[in-house]
Structure 1
């Protein structure tokens, strides 16, 4: 018996069926531009396809060069490229999965000098100024979308997703914030939504009826002069008429200052947005953002908030997420903690994505799993993240592991990190490690320092005792009022009302937040979160933000960050 009956209910689209209600959402991994892109992506997606995901959506692929994310960003514009994509689709199909190609034109978010947009308005997050598209160029761009979709069909994809949210090109046409045109493609709302409607119509005509078309609709822009709810609902209905098979929820533009996928966002924190559209359209509706457990996903579906759920980063954290859920082993899932440290942070600096809690993600070819031929008896000193990760991996390969930890609990500095407001998800990583230690038969000694006598008979000894706060040499450092972050978080020492923090990196910011907001009242409270960030839940104000909202948080201390 499934613990998650709604999650594993098939979805019949008439011409095809999805095995369950879970979509692996699109995320750029950096593999798209790798010299071995097709081979590495095939391995990456196949490993997840064999683990019962209903539909996988690729990272964004541009329909033309101006729309690529970077100068050498991935495109699908020629039949010559089909062979490379067939490696991906064949691998996924052989693994029993289905896969759709996301078509993404970045518009003014393209990070190269040849970028284009509805109007010549520079994005706050991009140093390049876009060239405004002329009427003929707009028609050609629509044709480029259709050509890309047809090539995806020929390459064996089961469908496509048209990226119409997050502030990319289509979204830029829709809002007055970025569309200052006064022709057929701008001005009135009906003119501003002409572009996405024509894209869907033209694509549907090109690919025929038996091909999935998902439209990712920006339902909450979270920017000034964004769309209001009646406009969003109208566009959703127009997109359905134009030929979309499903609509997926898009939340926030990349340049919005309101967090949408960070750890501080409550789980399923934007489900209320998707629910507002349920019943207003007749095609399936997909819910997204901060869904990271089968329990949360099941609740969304059972409450009637959506027809499907989309998760992206959780499948970086654990490729076996769906298999474990299907086998009622949800407690074994390596939970995505929404830290963004090895996925988004890497992509934004032009590096390949991975995952903080699963470094093997996107490196499947580099780190294949191989059982050992001659198991060893190995001692691991320290049960922080490094020691735990080594112990579990080595035990899984067949070694016999004994773990020594001088504290009374495992986790090391994860136990400090989880105390920061909005970062309680670090507890999930500790929970995962705790469960894996039991499953992998690792012998654990807590509150115990390993002695030479105890270690002498081990074949190998791994030192993983963690890091200590850096010692700095400045005048006055020995004063009684000078403490380090370890003292604050572990020993909970009393801190005064005026504080100078030396070091404005990640730990410095975390400590500042901890001292400003010692009691975290909003980390999993959706109402508190929307109130704190002045989000208009009626979406009657442009972009769904209350520009006249008040600053709701006050600090008990005055903090100075020194760098």
Structure 2
């Protein structure tokens, strides 16, 4: 039941058809030559999918405010042609879209970052230049100019980005504003920049919709207290905002805010504190992954709307399905960050692990087949399921053979990792879609050449298996493969040595440590918000139930291959639990005493009851070779095509591409 979610709401002079906002996110293609067309397809698809209001990725009001040297700026009429295709596409689909104005402040990654004070951010390499009072006034005027240009470009309004540690946040927080003039010092002075910017934007756009995004809790030392956040929200309302949109934390915060270890709906309590004092609508955000979660937040009174970003990467029709009684058909965001945020921070365009089309709508186009083929897909991991789904949707007759008794392959192990329980949603979605499309799935059936007789083409998606390294004693009874442990076929002892220090090894270590402490306690969150930034003292972790040593052959810090935006969370958890991490290790041999190694010029014994191999994977394409030798048309995807570096992101994209092309 999503009665509240589907209810229209008045925001300023506009009535939105439902309570779902598509929150701001960058795609990493905004400055490409074909950006207008790509963004038009992307936003148009979400408008067609029924979302009540779309907020663009942040656009800077001047060159100093852009994110990087090639960041997006809107400061001249000549740039309007870049935006007109976007607003046209959204309006043709019956949607509304507002442009977010974002000045990066000290987070800017170019040669001339500016800020209220010359204080370098811990995640930045450059110390910003302190703005003069004349430059502050000019920057306020720049916000107004960008807002007016946005309305000329067809946007339905503006969102002022005043959260997550960007320029306006920096003016408000004592940690980043050491000024002694009218823009710094007491709270009323620190909120002056917010007030002036919102008033200037309101004056530039008339009655068009005006949203302000404000961090409900800063999660940094020297951030705003709860009462100061409320004061800032009231300033935004009084200055002319129609809507207050929640942000959570600053980008430099050492508290996770949106990754998979964060409980769903974890921050609604912070939004509720602000909503209680405002008369304008307030939107909750962060880790709202399902219609049921969104409905519960609205029903609790914590917010009037919900802002979703990554869930609309995963499924552009989220809103239509949620409000139309099809919630079970939603392809759920699992908050992995692999396809979106990790890609962005690696300098690649954003997409989505569970939906490779996201951001590439013009590249992944399904065309119905003229002549249906009888296809066999061998393997029901992410690659095989994605291929079967796309091929069947185009009209092919597809049969999937899976040797195990369940769908998912190695991906099915992920849900056993604390914090990754929601990964099961992807498997559930694939299972439902394969059933809806009439795909025949044969579980517990390792396909043979005879099984594959009569099929026009065969897709080999048999995935990978753990690789056993060449170490003396590797066959010792205390040695287990990672999938033996994660599947529950083997149980680890109290002293564990992990051979390997990549993503799988970190996942195994987290699995062995067991359930985490309650989120607020583990990360030091003070819900009273009496202290600046809403931080509390993190209590020392209890002694872990196991002694774990994680090691790798290569030099350098273990965990370098983890996701850019989630790896630090896993490393922090393991460090607090006392997990030993060794690099530059040479493995000598294994015997009853444990694992003998050479590291830092010294021979050592890692005493262990269980040694778990997490040192890579290998594929098996023997069946593909037999088929090719027999003259059959055969395709390899996922780990069967290339085992090195395989993950679900690449596997699903591999399967999707072949499913769209085959036949």
Q: What TM-score bracket applies, with the shorter chain setting the length?
A: over 0.9
Question: Offset at 1:521?
Answer: 5.7
Question: Offset at 1:533?
Answer: 1.6
Of 105-114 and 320-329, the range deviating more from structure 2? 320-329
State the partner residue of 2:547. Answer: 558
Residues 411-440 of structure 1 show CA distances to partners (whole Å, capped at 9, x for unaligned) of 111221110110001100011011111100
Q: How many residues align?
A: 552
After superposition, residues 3-402 of structure 1 pair within 5 angstroms as 3-13=1-11, 15-208=13-206, 210-402=207-399
Stretches of structure 2 that go unaligned for 5 or more consecutive residues are 553-663
Alignment counterpart, residue 538 of structure 1, candidates 523, 528, 531: 528
Cα distance in 2 between the residues matched to 1:14 and 1:286:
14
Cα distance in 2 between the residues matched to 1:14 and 1:162:
15
Cα distance in 1 between the residues matched to 2:170 and 2:470:
51
Cα distance in 1 between the residues matched to 2:42 and 2:323:
21
Alignment counterpart, residue 474 of structure 2, candidates 474, 477, 492: 477
Q: Which has the larger radius of gyration?
A: 2
Question: Offset at 1:218?
Answer: 1.2
Runs of 4+ in structure 1 over 6 Å off: none
Cα distance in 2 between the residues matched to 1:147 and 1:558:
60
Cα distance in 1 between the residues matched to 2:162 and 2:30:
20
Cα distance in 1 between the residues matched to 2:550 and 2:64:
41
Question: Offset at 1:367?
Answer: 1.2
Question: Offset at 1:176?
Answer: 1.1
Of 319-328 and 78-87, the range deviating more from structure 2? 319-328
SS in 1 for 2:306: strand
After superposition, residues 402-421 of structure 1 pair within 5 angstroms as 402-421=399-418
SS in 2 for 1:404: strand
Residues 164-223 of structure 1 show CA distances to partners (whole Å, capped at 9, x for unaligned) of 111111111111111111111111111111111110011111211x11111111110111
Residues 462-499 of structure 1 show CA distances to partners (whole Å, capped at 9, x for unaligned) of 00011111332234433333322112112442323232
Cα distance in 1 between the residues matched to 2:458 and 2:266:
44
* Contact 2:12 2:243 survives alignment (8 Å): no
Question: Offset at 1:14?
Answer: 5.2
Cα gap change, 1:553 to 1:136, in 2 (>3 Å): farther
Residues 226-245 of structure 1 show CA distances to partners (whole Å, capped at 9, x for unaligned) of 11111111111111111111
* Contact 1:113 1:129 survives alignment (8 Å): no
Cα distance in 1 between the residues matched to 2:73 and 2:468:
49
Stretches of structure 1 that go unaligned for 5 or more consecutive residues are 523-527
Alignment counterpart, residue 460 of structure 1, candidates 457, 461, 469: 457
Cα RMSD (Å) of the superposition?
1.3
Residues 105-124 of structure 1 show CA distances to partners (whole Å, capped at 9, x for unaligned) of 11111111111111111111
Cα gap change, 1:372 to 1:164, in 2 (>3 Å): same
SS in 2 for 1:501: strand
Structure 2 residue 447 is the aligned partner of structure 1 residue 450: yes
State the partner residue of 1:529. Answer: 519
Residues 46-69 of structure 1 show CA distances to partners (whole Å, capped at 9, x for unaligned) of 011011110000111111111111
SS in 2 for 1:66: helix
Cα distance in 2 between the residues matched to 1:393 and 1:369:
8
Of 548-557 and 148-157, the range deviating more from structure 2? 548-557
Cα distance in 2 between the residues matched to 1:274 and 1:323:
25
Question: Offset at 1:534?
Answer: 1.6
Question: Offset at 1:402?
Answer: 0.3
State the partner residue of 1:525. Answer: none
Question: Offset at 1:559?
Answer: 2.0
* Contact 1:532 1:553 survives alignment (8 Å): no
* Contact 1:214 1:248 survives alignment (8 Å): yes
Residues 386-406 of structure 1 show CA distances to partners (whole Å, capped at 9, x for unaligned) of 111111111111111101111
Cα gap change, 1:5 to 1:475, in 2 (>3 Å): same
Cα distance in 2 between the residues matched to 1:295 and 1:23:
16
* Contact 2:402 2:444 survives alignment (8 Å): yes
SS in 2 for 1:402: strand
Question: Offset at 1:553?
Answer: 4.7
Cα distance in 2 between the residues matched to 1:18 and 1:282:
17
Question: Offset at 1:560?
Answer: 2.1
* Contact 2:332 2:425 survives alignment (8 Å): yes
* Contact 2:24 2:55 survives alignment (8 Å): yes
Query: Could you state the TM-score of these two structures normalised by the residue count of structure 2?
Result: 0.82
Structure 2 residue 511 is the aligned partner of structure 1 residue 514: yes
Of 338-347 and 13-22, the range deviating more from structure 2? 13-22
SS in 2 for 1:33: coil
Cα distance in 2 between the residues matched to 1:177 and 1:487:
49
